[in-house]
Structure 1
């Protein structure tokens, strides 16, 4: 039997810096659950857990520094983290080097491997992750493209940095090709300094009808202005990464009309394993206590602590914790997580659905759930709206696609 000694869990969260908005859900979930984790109660079968917080400052070097401190000076049994295409891998890699279990989320799993310089399928000893794949993103985007017709010509607005190079690794393109779509990639742009005039012109020459991206809100807004000036009026824009969050750029156009991936929402039919809170309850509590709109990371942030409590109830030392994570299956407020099932070593999968931003009533922008192929039990809130982004006239539908749009 595992002795009911206190477990120490380090939480590396971006409280400051460019990722601070994404750190808020993690901080909220941890602070919400901290009393329950510290005093699980008689008969619960769970160890008391003390959370030790560190600010990553949204910087990978500082994240490595505080992770090392948590391991070497605080003797943590497990580290939890999320957010940042450079910060998250820095925390995970440091934990692997220091032989300390780490659990992370909010990152495509192929990118999780690529950012650490190993091929998909590599087995880590100490570090575990849950999320979705680039192929999942492509499938959900294709679900939405196909609401406009078959065999679409899709322009790829991908940067020259890690996000763009990861999307160009063939996984996304293979899914699009399998489903009959043609991708047009004009080459990457530099974030915050992109040549969107040339990109829009390339799309026009190649008959692009839909644009797909992983841009920041500012870069996507800049592209849309350049595209509009050149007469490029895509019937749909699908974008992941920053456009999964309701952040509005400092100047119009905002995200209205942008379609995106959805990995968690208040409508998800899931309950917490710690206290039976529903997804809707969690989102409402977050909005009530913070005065801010719910974000998708809220559900998976809560799930990080649920998994930690589950694993630490049956494993005590670091080696046992890592081995237990490898075979863990637990139902959370983000849905069931199963590391034994895959889709790859050290990874548990979350199904994606499709969403589209709309001008809201309670908030400036609200996320409508518009496709649910991989989660049919989730009730959709609205239909996908075809046409150009807000304020931009759509391209006239052509040929066989006209019937599909009218239907």
Structure 2
């Protein structure tokens, strides 16, 4: 892990203290004394999620997850020998980092929650975790690669954080998955990059810790015109560069609306790469469906699927059974965030049950000592790769058209061989 921790503070954000100072007025407001302890009459979970805005596709499983969890917890949770009713307070980040910070602050200062949970990219998890760290409130986050989350918040590998814990895969995993995909079929090994000017894009494109050095080592040529400003509806300069340099692979980490614009313009300009592997945009059935016939053959990392060999500690459902229950509830295909949204509540319930008393410190200590098998895999923060972080497995998939429609099949598992392959990568076929 040395590659991903050396000098990381300087690369991602600077010192942890300076990162928190950048929060300005929000930080100043949060420096007020923590509210007087309320009567411990219930357990309150604060949940921040992008219900609206360009990241709303990440929140598609939320109604199902909240309905399922509230039913399971209707009789309460026993913490330190006493049974408490459970409240879940759900806040919309509006896909905006400032609003995510405000939502977390409201949950902490106004609602006085016992724990805050969040998911769905650094725009949500980072500001939420920062507010919890400032106010001394336990926090659990997921669905952000661990480097943009940890180092993007100024985390120091020799120190870590006091109140905030995170689990997901890292850049080393997705680089391994993507290059594993690309090496399956013959290409000219020229990669066109679509990396936006945001936490993810800057981390993925970082010349020291991101994709560039690994691609160079593996013999790939990178066509990188620099970071673009999102949202964007004009990718003509990128398409021109990709065509000029014969980039037969395209990669990126961009919101679905941006990729929809790029992919439509690529079709208009008759740009036909053999492989297109784009995170965020190609992860969701709702987005994939909007691409029409041009969705067939797109590839992407897969953090969770019905094929994953894990089960819920909360319901006993296998990954396949959870996915089926979601489809029966919503009428929609399974989606990757489903497993991770469910797993947040798995860990929270386990933490409450193990806490020595109803206090922030006891809940924090219970998070730190978590060792739990969940529907997304084993959660244990003690091995690292850095303090406060647990890694989850990652594989690669390709959207392939079948009689019932497009299906995302596992076609690369070099980073997590416990997850079985369902096929091989094939070049994109153009009509």
TM-score (norm 2): 0.81
The counterpart of 2:203, out of the listed 163, 166, 181, is 166
The counterpart of 1:220, out of the listed 259, 272, 278, is 259
The counterpart of 2:363, out of the listed 318, 321, 345, is 321
Deviation at 1:64, TM superposition (A): 2.6
- Structure 2 residue 348 is the aligned partner of structure 1 residue 308: yes
- Output one character per residue of 1:347-404: Cα deviation in whole Å (capped at 9) or x when no partner: 1111110011123444x4321111122332323222211245x43xxxxxxxxxxxxx
- Output one character per residue of 1:90-141: Cα deviation in whole Å (capped at 9) or x when no partner: 2111111111011111111111134434466651111111111122111100
**Aligned with 1:86: secondary structure?**
helix
Is contact 1:37-1:48 (8 Å) kept?
A: no
- Structure 2 residue 309 is the aligned partner of structure 1 residue 264: no
Is contact 1:217-1:249 (8 Å) kept?
A: no
Tell me the residue number matched to 1:366. Answer: 407
Q: Which runs of 5+ in 2 are unaligned?
A: 1-39
Change (3 A) 1:42 1:125: closer
Deviation at 1:231, TM superposition (A): 4.8
Deviation at 1:50, TM superposition (A): 0.9
Alignment partners' CA distance in 2, 1:47 and 1:184: 58
- Structure 2 residue 337 is the aligned partner of structure 1 residue 297: yes
Alignment partners' CA distance in 2, 1:150 and 1:235: 7
Q: Which runs of 5+ in 1 are unaligned?
A: 392-407
**Aligned with 1:354: secondary structure?**
strand
Aligned pairs, how many?
A: 386
The counterpart of 1:341, out of the listed 383, 387, 404, is 383
Tell me the residue number matched to 1:233. Answer: 272
- Output one character per residue of 1:5-43: Cα deviation in whole Å (capped at 9) or x when no partner: 743222223333443332232342232022333436889
TM-score (norm 1): 0.86
Is contact 2:234-2:261 (8 Å) kept?
A: no
Change (3 A) 1:110 1:228: same
Change (3 A) 1:250 1:262: closer
The counterpart of 1:147, out of the listed 171, 181, 184, is 184
Deviation at 1:75, TM superposition (A): 2.5
Tell me the residue number matched to 2:27. Answer: none
**Range moving further from structure 2, 163-172 or 348-357:** 163-172
- Structure 2 residue 172 is the aligned partner of structure 1 residue 135: yes
Is contact 1:9-1:80 (8 Å) kept?
A: yes
Tell me the residue number matched to 2:328. Answer: 288
Is contact 2:77-2:352 (8 Å) kept?
A: no
**Aligned with 1:243: secondary structure?**
coil
Is contact 1:215-1:243 (8 Å) kept?
A: no
- Output one character per residue of 1:62-87: Cα deviation in whole Å (capped at 9) or x when no partner: 33333223222332211111124322
Change (3 A) 1:321 1:28: same
Alignment partners' CA distance in 1, 2:198 and 2:324: 36
- How much is the aligned-residue C-alpha RMSD, in angstroms? 2.7
